[in-house]
Amino acid sequence: MNSLVLAVGAGVLYLIAYHTYGKFLSRKIFKLNPEAVCPSVEFRDDVDYVPTKKPILFGHHFTSIAGTGPIVGPAIAIIWGWIPALIWIVVGSIFMGAVHDFGAMVVSLRNQGRSIGDIAKDIVNPRVRTLFLLIIFFELWIVVAIFGVVIGVVFNMFPQAVLPVWLEIPIAVWLGYMIYKKGAPHLPLSIVAVVLMYITVIIGAYVPIKMPSILGLNPIACWVIVLLIYAYIASTLPVQTLLQPRDYINSHQLFVALALLMLGVIFAHPPMVAPAADFSPKGAPPIWPMLFVVIACGAISGFHSLVSSGTSSKQCDNETSSLTIGYGGMLMEAMLATFVVVACGAGLALGLTKGGQTFTGAAAFQQHYASWGAAAGLGSKIHAFVWGSANMIETIGIPHKITLTIMGVFLVSFAATTMDTATRLQRYIVGELFTAWGVSTLAKRHPATILAVGTALLLAFVNPSGKGALILWPLFGSVNQLLAGLALLVVTVYLAHKKAPLGYTMVPMIFMLFMTGWAMLLNLNKFYVKGNWLLFAIGLCVFVLEIWMIIESLLVLKRVYGEETGPVPEPR
């Protein structure tokens, strides 16, 4: 299969889906109302609730949900073959992921911009809210800690990315000041900001910065500390000071990266050398159900519901914008995941240097994907995408050194966005939990953020290397996808209250809960056999919480349809 045909075909499907299925959902199922007053207007505080123009909010939303998720998942799942990976990305994003992100955002817009977990109190019951918020806290706890490691690893692999990434902060602050304080037009200024950023990329390519070991801490551990301090500051500042403008710049960076990748595919158009399907690669877990857990971002990811109902719903200025931001943002991420499949399955074949020897064609793919163990490491996933992308982009005349820097900055920029957005979201979750428990002092901005960052720091340094979050990482995929199923469950109960058709959210809900429940049971069995009692105990607790929440929700659905008597609170 030619990679150009594959990329173009997927892109066309995403465009068709947006203009057909997406618009159908907005008109007939969720019935978006352009006259509705959004939380950003009703509760405006110019810190978290800020009415924001659609293009700027799209940039924030997309860069927050993307991170490295749509890269690392497809980059490992292609070991089962490019056809299974691509089918799940395309079908999952159109009929599940985009519906999930869009639905969570709409429900939040109609419930004061609260998180999907907190809204569960009104839609289901208070017990479910506590269960849901605890699951969300656990997920974000891992995300904040692990993304510090991710960025540290990328900085270590690509030190030329360090200078451009940190210089992007003053550029973003300047952009936010000019737009919000001076009233300057956002588009031309954002282009200037992107040009400035790419100047720093060229400088960074020739001025790499390596973090030294400090006080006995290795470079990655040092980066984790620096990044958590940054996340605290970024997540407590007003969103228009740093978060929005930086994400807006990063959204432009995404379009540049996608354009470069597309040009690389057009000029190089390498054939796919990855196997079309390989259901038993060496050392790999079973493709069913693990494909649906390994590829999360790019198809469907529970973390997206937290962004949709956490930060994006607090900034959306019109209910109708949620279609572009929620549904469209997910399809854009799926396009990125498609390019990852192409980069790893075809771009890598243009040349891979390993052990002083250069491999091309199918041999290059086999060298990198010799076994599950060889391909599954974090550095390995990142390396496959960056190297394959650089190979294709290099064919349009950009020097390899600069290309590697561009892709390194691209990775870190998106990972940093996810990290500080996750920190801000964790602050909201901590606040909602303590508010529910009647401890309002700890629900305030700075105490809640201290708890969010402090718990992540403790997790990170359970291991002196700063990689403590890797201890819980084996649970993350299942918990994240479980969260997607539970978010769809809440959206489904919301639609039931509205007497709207349920199949469009119920079918993906059932699929995700079944697949992730299956994956969780496989993981629990593995942890039990290996005697990993910590992961077994935590995984079992999460699984029990899932079953409990599903039962509670089904009872509410039963009451909504009148099979039992008793009042049911009507959500907005």
Q: What is the pLDDT of residue 562?
A: 60
Domain containing 299 equals: 3-350+358-560
572 inside domain: no
Lowest-confidence region among 181-195, 356-370, 432-446: 356-370
CA dihedral defined by 386, 387, 389, 392, rounded to 10 degrees? 160
Instruction: Kindly indicate the confidence band of residue 459, based on its pLDDT and cuts at 50, 70 and 90.
Output: very high
* Chain centroid to CA 213: 30
Q: Using CA atoms, how far apart are residues 47 and 292, in angstroms rounded to an integer? A: 37
482 inside domain: yes
Helix, coil or strand: residue 271: strand
Q: Using CA atoms, how far apart are residues 539 and 80, in angstroms rounded to an integer? A: 26
Task: Tally Cβ neighbours within 10 Å of residue 565.
Answer: 6
331 inside domain: yes
CB 320 within 8 A of CB 34: yes
Q: What is the pLDDT of residue 39?
A: 97
Q: Using CA atoms, how far apart are residues 411 and 433, in angstroms rounded to an integer? A: 32
Instruction: Kindly indicate the confidence band of residue 377, based on its pLDDT and cuts at 50, 70 and 90.
Output: low
DSSP for 399-439, please give it: -HHHHHHHHHHHHHHHHHHHHHHHHHHHHHHHHHHHHHTT-
Name the residue among 354, 361, 381 with its Cα closest to residue 274: 361
**Residue 313 in tokens:** 């719903």
CB 442 within 8 A of CB 278: no
Instruction: Kindly indicate the confidence band of residue 263, based on its pLDDT and cuts at 50, 70 and 90.
Output: very high
CB 385 within 8 A of CB 340: yes
pTM for this one? 0.90
Compute the average pLDDT of residues 114-122.
Answer: 91
Q: Which CATH number do you get for residue 233? A: 1.20.1740.10
**Better-predicted residue by pLDDT, 270 or 68:** 270
In a 13 Å sphere around the CA of 298, the CA atoms on its Cβ side amount to 30
565 inside domain: no
Residue 376 has pLDDT above 70, yes or no: no
Question: Across-strand partners of 358?
Answer: 353
Strands 352-354 and 357-359, by their bridges, are: antiparallel
Residue 107 has pLDDT above 90, yes or no: yes
CB 496 within 8 A of CB 557: yes
Q: What is the pLDDT of residue 298?
A: 92
547-557 pLDDT, tens digit per residue, is: 888 888 888 87
Name every residue whose Cβ is closer than 8 Å to that of residue 287 and which is 6 or more positions away in sequence.
80, 84, 279
567 inside domain: no
Name the residue among 358, 372, 364, 333 with its Cα closest to residue 346: 364
570 inside domain: no
20 inside domain: yes
Sign of the C-alpha dihedral computed for residues 348, 349, 350 and 354 taken in this order? positive
CB 112 within 8 A of CB 316: no
381-431 pLDDT, tens digit per residue, is: 777 888 888 889 888 988 878 888 888 888 888 888 889 899 999 999 999
Domain count, the chain: 1
Q: Using CA atoms, how far apart are residues 528 and 35, in angstroms rounded to an integer? A: 54
Q: What is the pLDDT of residue 63?
A: 87
End-to-end CA distance of the chain: 49
569 inside domain: no
Question: Across-strand partners of 352?
Answer: 359
What mean pLDDT, rounded, does the chain reach? 90
Task: Tally Cβ neighbours within 10 Å of residue 345.
Answer: 30
Residue 102 has pLDDT above 60, yes or no: yes
Compute the average pLDDT of residues 303-329.
Answer: 96
Q: What is the pLDDT of residue 9?
A: 95
Q: How many Å is the Cα radius of gyration of the chain? A: 22
Residue 567 has pLDDT above 80, yes or no: no
Q: What is the pLDDT of residue 569?
A: 47
Residue 378 has pLDDT above 70, yes or no: no
17-73 pLDDT, tens digit per residue, is: 999 999 999 999 999 999 999 999 999 999 999 999 999 999 889 988 987 778 888
Task: Tally Cβ neighbours within 10 Å of residue 441.
Answer: 8
* Chain centroid to CA 259: 21
156-197 pLDDT, tens digit per residue, is: 888 999 999 999 999 999 999 999 888 898 889 999 999 999
Q: If you ran DSSP here, which 8-state letter would residue 317 be given?
A: S
Name the residue among 427, 426, 333, 339 with its Cα closest to residue 59: 333
